[in-house]
Amino acid sequence: MSVALRARILSVVEHGIDSLKKAIELRPDYDDAMAYLNLMYREKADLECGDAAARKEDLKTADEWVDKTLAVKKATAERDSVAK
């Protein structure tokens, strides 16, 4: 992949990350946005293949979003089961 193409795709990925973070600001329990943030950070990590430290940090952030997603899904399921 050319450097120019990688930069262009990275720009789109970063825009996606920013948009998803804004969605979570507006709705902190938005588990779908959290799940997609995980995927976006994994995509970003793939694009940063030349920078091992940045790739490692992106994968760590992706894993954190997985944990947050699961926590929100669990809390929602518990809340829904109590409401029944």
Where are the domains positioned within the chain? 3-77
Question: What is residue 50's predicted lDDT score, i.e. its pLDDT?
Answer: 83
Q: Token pair for residue 33?
A: 């946005």
**In Å, what is the CA distance from 18 to each residue of 9, 44, 51, 80?**
14, 13, 21, 30
pLDDT at residue 1 above 80? no
**What does the radius of gyration of the chain's CA atoms come to, in whole angstroms?**
15
42, 58 in Cβ contact below 8 A?
Answer: yes
pLDDT tens-digit readout, 25-45: 999 999 999 999 999 999 999
29, 76 in Cβ contact below 8 A?
Answer: yes
Confidence of residue 57 (pLDDT cuts 50, 70, 90): very high
Question: What is residue 48's predicted lDDT score, i.e. its pLDDT?
Answer: 87
Question: Three-state DSSP class for 28?
Answer: coil
